[in-house]
Structure 1
Amino acid sequence: IKECLEELKLNPKIFNPRAVESRIDAAKNELIEPADYPVDDFFNEQVARVYELYAKKLKANNAVDFGDLLLLPVKLFEGHPEVLRAYRDRLHYLMVDEYQDTNRAQYRLIQLLAGERQNLCVVGDDDQSIYRWRGADVRNILDFEKDFPEATVIKLEQNYRSTKNILRAAGEVVRHIAHRKDKALWTENEAGERIVYYTGRTDKEEAAFVVQQIQRLRGAGDLRLADFAVFYRTNAQSRVFEDELRRQNIPYVIYGGTRFYDRMEIKDILSYLWVLANPADGLHLRRIINVPGRGIGKVTVEKLEQFAAQRGLSFFDALPLAGEAGVTGTTAKKILAFHQLLLNLQVLMKGERLSHFVQTLIERSGYLEELRAEDTLEAEGRIENLEELVNVVADYEAGTTEPSLQGFLDQVSLVSDIDKLDDKSQALPLMTLHLAKGLEFDVVFFVGMEEG
């Protein structure tokens, strides 16, 4: 896709490769080919051009991507009935699990293969449809009887895992959903512990309560940390719980994610702050000189480093002398612009509250703009992490009589990162609800549910 953008002379800062890839993938999931791609605005008009060239390049390289693994068989079967017939003769029975998470392309493939035999068994639960953001269409399961009128529906309503209290509460939560298949889960298990409902005034208060309850329950019985779990909707929500767990020296492990202060976007913005606090910090300066992408490559950085060493200068002081270091043309202008950005940020820092300044930095650096241009779910999560970083700074300000940039950085650097444990039984699991599906724990905390 990057090659396609280059050939079509499209600026990757405007047409972010990941954003373009995401739209092409979504189109393939909807069985939309390049010629039929909707061009309802300028961005999509260019995506259509990239999609067409990308498809040609894949074909020329005798290659397919994941979307093609669905799109191409559907095209083959629809265009060549004799091939479809051959596969129908081979596949007399079809079974599909997690049917609520199928997309349009998967649905069409199933429909074609089922054919006149209709020997199709699907298993799924519309209440567990959690992958719409990946293209899953819950209508596939909701409309199953319309699509296959002779289908026999068997409701698997007995639950073997949960207690009566949990099932009753879950049933009340989903009962109000407008479009769903009616079902009444029941269990022969005991009523079990009552569900505890807690409302904190702040996320910090909530985190303190959760950790306090974990400590209390551990002390009262033989539960290990691995018998507990904390679930949240997005990874950005883990930060306040990580802080509280670190404060109390409780080991934890994040499943399917990275610890808050180890996340790329957090390290990038903190590197900016370290440089602003100490311009002689060459380590952090090297990290951000091309973040977000400015077209300042490794060779240019090496030239500046050699020049700085020869002149006895810091890396920062060598930036405005890029021309003398042998860097010319557009690259030299980009280095000067970066240096000026840092100088401007130093001035702004003196007149703003620290939390406001960090927000300004995220915007002025171009970091936020680049993530928005990416227009993917991953980028959205990274933006949420940056918003959480601003909250971290605001918390620091609220708890300090004389907040300063250096003071904040000192606090961050003192956050003791717990070593990764080989024995996961000695660590508290933290994870998103998506990852938690299908897992079992003795004690579970659902957090950050105030927005539904």
Structure 2
Amino acid sequence: MWWVVAAKMEGMDAEGVLAGLDPEQRAVAEAVRGPVCVLAGAGTGKTRAITHRIAYATLTGVVAPQRVLAVTFTTRAAGELRGRLRQLGAPGVQARTFHAAALRQLSYFWPRVIGGDPPRILESKIGLIKEAARACRLSFGGTELRDVASEIEWAKVTQCRPEDYAAAVARSARKAPADVVDIARVYVMYEELRRERNLLDFEGMLELTAAVLTEHREVAQQVREQYRYFVVDEFQDVNPLQKLLLDTWLGDRDDICVVGDPNQTIYSFTGATPSYLLDFTADHPGATVVKLVRDYRSTPQVVGLANGVIGQAKGEAAKRHKLELVAQRDNGPEPSFAEYDDEVAEADDVARRARKLIDEGVPAREIAVLFRINAQSEAYEAAFAAAGVPYVLRGAERFFERPEVREAVVRLRGAARAGADAETDGTGLIMTVRHVLSGAGFSDRPPEGAGAVRARWESLAALAQLAEDMAADNPQAGLPEFVAELEERAAAQHAPPLEGVTLASLHSAKGLEWDAVFLVGLVEGTLPIIYAETAEQVEEERRLLYVGITRARVHLSLSWALARTPGGARFRRPSRFLEGVNGRTGTSAPARVDRAKRRPAAKGPQPCRVCGRPLTAAVERKLGRCEDCPVELNEDLLAALKDWRAGVAADQKVPAYVVFTDATLQAIAERNPGSAEELARISGVGKTKLDRYGEAVLALCTG
């Protein structure tokens, strides 16, 4: 049987797939026939549950892998699904975004049912909308063009034609970015230009695919024969156009499993609606419903705050399918609340506290600053640059589309074809990658200051760090494997973590998580945003804060400023969503720091303790020396430290690196500290970890 062969190929059997799942996750995995509705709270392992369900269904012969279509919203999420399914013995499952699945089907059937030259996919509407506006004798600025483009996208996904646009805006209490009559005129002209030039936008792609299946019975039969088993992730974010296509794929069948969290509905402005998730049991009587509420991501303190914020939600929708998370991790620090005189003081103190976390051993890439609107990033970029804390602005540009990254991948691909490291081990991989990247401008020492040169160096450094991570996971990996990893990541837009604190909007942070999160600018008018006028819009803003809170694993800070600028009127009020949960009766604000007094950090790169060369690689900075410098290593102590760390990590239910990284343990084994002072001088051993683990580590060292 095909499922037995697949299981043997991957070394996995059906019972093995169920092993390690909690009772609710196992209930999802064993519900192999639809309709199934999984209500999954943040951090509860929904991806684990649905991938194990698919694998269990294929390994038990319920469905062939090739007959499964798993649909999600991002190429990265689709890539993660495929990767997990391969590991579980279901490599043939199709995991795609709505648009990727539609484009594949449309391209395949186009010659048969339409014929002629297929349309060219329109990657961005901006240029065509600018032409359409000019034809209507209207002039929009750059920001206005983007807003009009978003408005037309909303109209198209909600199946609203130009002549109905004005009425639809009024009906939905939506605030249009320009005169509704002007937008409707531009919408008409945009569609005319698009058709004249044989262009197809992403919304048209879904609509046309659904139309082809509806109008051509033989096409629908072929697609439904191919895909008999559906899984839809993030179902609370489905819009009417996506639902139309999904219903067309399904036909009169009900083998569908949907997964979502009504508490994380934050995209209604794009046309998404949670009603399909909330009404699933009404549409599918007798559906199996499973709630995942065990939170494995965050500490009880973070989970408690999240429950407190979302528990105050108002309205009928908030009461339906209510999810209250139950923390599974050990206790951590209480979330902190801070009030500042102005935004400059707030940004400066956040930068200072981020630096403190880094000094205590939290990697910079495991820290995030999240804000409501992108314009808030400016103060934090300035504060982090002045404090010498590296940062990454999420959403500014796709990593694999950066010119320096494209050039580096081409160079690495060429070196792999030439057999540059045919006989090297993991260390050789690191050296080879760094050598190839040096041809693209990478050096061991970062350039002075900030700007484009520093940004280019950071991109190349991220690739070098990725090679180090691969070598640590698989010492036998060579350059061909590294290039294959890069290409797979590029296809899924899965960028390597850059070594810097993440600055991101709350919307762009959904689906991500960090050890430490700073939620900033939590004032009335910003969260909830001033444009949130209806009760439904305000409740969506509450859910946005909930999403931000649940991004944090351990450390969580919430803050607000009473004035925008130093010396400004202090009239702002903390967000209404903090009422009853902030545990504050008023505290003095930290002293304001004048932006003019900021000075760039003068501290240079850490020198090697053996040869004195500046250290730039993360692993070298942890070790305190160059990787190739001679040093004495107590192998027995290193083994004992790793055994101790494994036990602590298991007890605390955290990844081993959260206790201490491999590099930190190696540095301890090399230096063999005899006192707390000596141990504290090792990179990665900050005050918190010294207090928590210092006695046990020193006992191993002196024993």
For the aligned pair, the TM-score class normalised by the smaller chain equals: 0.5 to 0.7
Alignment partner for residue 141 of structure 1, among 240, 258, 277? 277
- Note the alpha carbon deviations across 1:158-207, whole angstroms, 9 max, x for none: 22211111111111111122323211222331122221222223222222
Which segments of 5 or more consecutive residues in structure 2 lack a partner in the other structure? 1-128, 171-177, 398-448, 463-497, 525-574, 576-703
Distance 1:57 1:175, change over 3 A: same
Hey, what does 1:279 align to over in structure 2?
Answer: none
Hey, what does 1:307 align to over in structure 2?
Answer: none
Secondary structure of 1:116's partner?
coil
Q: Could you tell me how far apart the structure 1 residues matched to 2:189 and 2:379 are?
A: 45
**By how many angstroms is 1:63 displaced?**
2.6
**By how many angstroms is 1:79 displaced?**
4.7
**By how many angstroms is 1:68 displaced?**
0.2
Secondary structure of 1:123's partner?
strand
Count of equivalent residues: 294
> RCO greater where, 1 or 2, for CA within 8 Å and sep 6 or more?
1
Q: Could you tell me how far apart the structure 2 residues matched to 1:450 and 1:229 are?
A: 19
Hey, what does 1:402 align to over in structure 2?
Answer: none
Q: Could you tell me how far apart the structure 2 residues matched to 1:56 and 1:210 are?
A: 50
Whether the 8 Å contact between 2:130 and 2:140 is mirrored in structure 1 is no
Q: Could you tell me how far apart the structure 2 residues matched to 1:76 and 1:35 are?
A: 24
Structure 1 residue 28 and structure 2 residue 156: aligned? yes
Which segments of 5 or more consecutive residues in structure 1 lack a partner in the other structure? 259-415
Alignment partner for residue 431 of structure 1, among 497, 504, 508? 504
Alignment partner for residue 194 of structure 1, among 327, 334, 342? 334
Hey, what does 2:373 align to over in structure 1?
Answer: 234
- Note the alpha carbon deviations across 1:302-326, whole angstroms, 9 max, x for none: xxxxxxxxxxxxxxxxxxxxxxxxx
Which structure 2 residues correspond to residues 161-310 of structure 1 after superposition, within 5 A?
161-178=297-314, 179-180=317-318, 181-219=321-359, 221-257=360-396
Identity %: 32
Could you tell me the TM-score, scaled by structure 2's length?
0.38
Whether the 8 Å contact between 1:39 and 1:48 is mirrored in structure 2 is no
Distance 1:142 1:2, change over 3 A: same
Give the aligned residue type for 1:237.
Answer: Q
Whether the 8 Å contact between 1:207 and 1:241 is mirrored in structure 2 is yes
**By how many angstroms is 1:43 displaced?**
4.4
Q: Could you tell me how far apart the structure 2 residues matched to 1:214 and 1:106 are?
A: 41
Could you tell me the TM-score, scaled by structure 1's length?
0.58
Q: Which moved more, 1:205-214 or 1:73-82?
A: 73-82
Structure 1 residue 105 and structure 2 residue 241: aligned? yes
Give the aligned residue type for 1:75.
Answer: A
Give the aligned residue type for 2:138.
Answer: N
- Note the alpha carbon deviations across 1:360-399, whole angstroms, 9 max, x for none: xxxxxxxxxxxxxxxxxxxxxxxxxxxxxxxxxxxxxxxx
**By how many angstroms is 1:449 displaced?**
1.3
Whether the 8 Å contact between 1:39 and 1:45 is mirrored in structure 2 is no
Hey, what does 1:371 align to over in structure 2?
Answer: none
Q: CA RMSD in A?
A: 3.1
Hey, what does 2:516 align to over in structure 1?
Answer: 443
Alignment partner for residue 156 of structure 1, among 288, 292, 297? 292
Q: Could you tell me how far apart the structure 1 residues matched to 2:338 and 2:289 are?
A: 39
**By how many angstroms is 1:434 displaced?**
2.2
Q: Could you tell me how far apart the structure 2 residues matched to 1:122 and 1:447 are?
A: 33
Whether the 8 Å contact between 1:157 and 1:183 is mirrored in structure 2 is yes
**By how many angstroms is 1:122 displaced?**
0.9
Q: Could you tell me how far apart the structure 2 residues matched to 1:75 and 1:24 are?
A: 20
Distance 1:227 1:36, change over 3 A: closer
Q: Could you tell me how far apart the structure 1 residues matched to 2:270 and 2:202 are?
A: 13
**By how many angstroms is 1:155 displaced?**
0.9
Alignment partner for residue 75 of structure 1, among 194, 211, 228? 211
Q: Could you tell me how far apart the structure 2 residues matched to 1:174 and 1:206 are?
A: 25
Q: Could you tell me how far apart the structure 2 residues matched to 1:253 and 1:91 are?
A: 40
Secondary structure of 2:395's partner?
coil
Q: Could you tell me how far apart the structure 1 residues matched to 2:225 and 2:133 are?
A: 44
Hey, what does 2:202 align to over in structure 1?
Answer: 66
Q: Which is helix-richer, 1 or 2?
A: 1
- Note the alpha carbon deviations across 1:126-183, whole angstroms, 9 max, x for none: 1122222222112222222222223211111122211111111111111122323211
Q: Could you tell me how far apart the structure 1 residues matched to 2:355 and 2:165 are?
A: 55
